[in-house]
Amino acid sequence: MKAAVLREVGKPLQIEDVSIGKPGPREVLIRTKAAGVCHSDLHFVEGSYSHPLPAVLGHESAGIVEAVGSEVRTVKVGDHVITCLNPYCGHCEVCLTGHMNLCISPETKRGKGEEPRLFREDLSGPNGERTGDTKMAQFLNLSSFAEMMLVHEHACVAIRKDMPFDRAALIGCSVMTGVGSVVHTSNVRPGETVAVIGCGGVGLATINGAAIAGAGRIIAIDRVPAKLELAKTFGATDVIDAGAVDDVAKAVVELTSGGVQHSFEAIGLKATAEASFKMLRRGGTANVIGMIPVGTKIELHGVDFLGERRIQGSYMGSNRFPVDMPRLVDAYMAGKLKLDELISRRIRLEEVNSAFDELKRGELARSVIVFD
């Protein structure tokens, strides 16, 4: 099958022929129909996060179940599915206490002695015969930039078949992350005030989630005026152009006469993470969603904790994805969740590098790779 491979940090992805294994007892083979190009992929291309290489990237996808292993019970052949990059075992401490998004049980992956899920056949014998295959690392348990995916059954969920694949794919990462941060991680209640820093795919989904949750004031913050305009259609009641004010946190505190109850950092920078805490009113909660580069430290004023201000991480929207994702599909079909506006371009797998270039330029863009 064709797949987009990262061989070296900082280099473009290469389209290569990659082989995929047969489903093990609890595994599912999925024909990929759509895969979003997410900022997190770019973090690994640029090296601010590291991953074993070569790797097939991609982690925001939807497809059709092609084959299932002998013990699979959650999906069947022909099901339309959304994937999730955090597979869960279902019986460890975090799974049993309702935090399945934090499960790191090794049983959802293939172990060291087992055949890799993805590999490249090595036909370099003297007469072109197969010698030793090269392992290709699976990215975030999925590797969606490929015509097929082989995943644990707890890394996907079946959805209704009238849901378009390109929009379903977005629910697999950015939309779950944004909406989940509002409704699960920070538990926004009707009428509360919210600020969102960064209006890319995740930030817009966060704004949309806050609107669905019934937040009162929703303040969108970005440097790109076009993104702020789009934020309004997602439910922002106020916008702040970060390029036009000296101090974003101060602007939010002034606008809200004391700060917000919930803030969401959806970029992944030291300065914006610190600002997310500074803009809280007493008792408020800051949620860091963005991927802050490894090694970066965040500095806060200790005295602010006296006002019971909190700062916390939010990973994949603290999801319970087998329940959440089908609900998000229903919310889209009912016209409550906005997905159409998030997609700026539908591209072929071969065009994946151009999508990264757009992300790097900070453009209003979320490209979705579509497969026939």
**Residues 95, 103, 156, 173: which is the catalytic one?**
173
Distance, CA of 45 to CA of 42 (rounded, Å) = 5
- Write down the least CB distance from residue 40 to Zn ion, Å: 4
59 among known catalytic residues: yes
Measured CA to CA, the distance from residue 42 to residue 353 in angstroms comes to: 10
CB-wise, 73 or 297, nearer to Zn ion? 73
> Are the beta carbons of 180 and 316 closer than 8 angstroms?
yes
- Amino acid 203 reads G
Task: Determine whether 199 is an active site residue.
Answer: no
The CB density around residue 91, as the number of other CB atoms within 10 Å, is 10
- Rounded to a whole number of angstroms, the minimum distance from the CB of residue 78 to Zn ion is 27
Q: Which residues bind Zn ion (CB under 5 A)?
A: 38, 40, 88-89, 92, 95, 103, 105, 173
Told to judge if 105 belongs to the known catalytic residues of this protein, a careful annotator would answer no
Largest CA distance in the chain: 77
Cα of first residue to Cα of last residue in the chain, in angstroms, is 13
143 is catalytic: no
Our CB check for Zn ion shows the closer of 105 and 344 to be 105
Whole-angstrom distance, CA of residue 316 vs CA of residue 183 = 12
Give the nearest distance from C-beta 246 to Zn ion in angstroms: 32
Question: Token pair for residue 39?
Answer: 């900022």
Minimum distance, C-beta of residue 333 to Zn ion, in the bound complex (Å): 23
Is 61 tagged catalytic?
no
Residue with tokens 């979320």: 366
Name the active-site residue from 39, 48, 50, 59.
Answer: 59
Nearer to Zn ion, 38 or 55 (CB): 38
Q: One of 39, 43, 80, 152 is an active-site residue; which one?
A: 43
Shortest distance, CB of residue 174 to Zn ion, whole angstroms?
6
Beta strands in 77-199 (DSSP E): 80-83, 118-120, 134-138, 148-152, 156-159, 194-197
Do residues 131 and 49 lie in contact, with contact meaning Cβ atoms separated by under 8 Å? no
Q: State which residue, 9 or 92, has the beta carbon closest to Zn ion.
A: 92
State the sign of the Cα–Cα–Cα–Cα dihedral 366, 14, 142, 45: negative
Q: Which of 38, 84, 103, 199 is catalytic?
A: 38
Q: Residue 202 or 249: which CB sits closer to Zn ion?
A: 202
Q: Which residues are catalytic?
A: 38, 40, 43, 59, 173
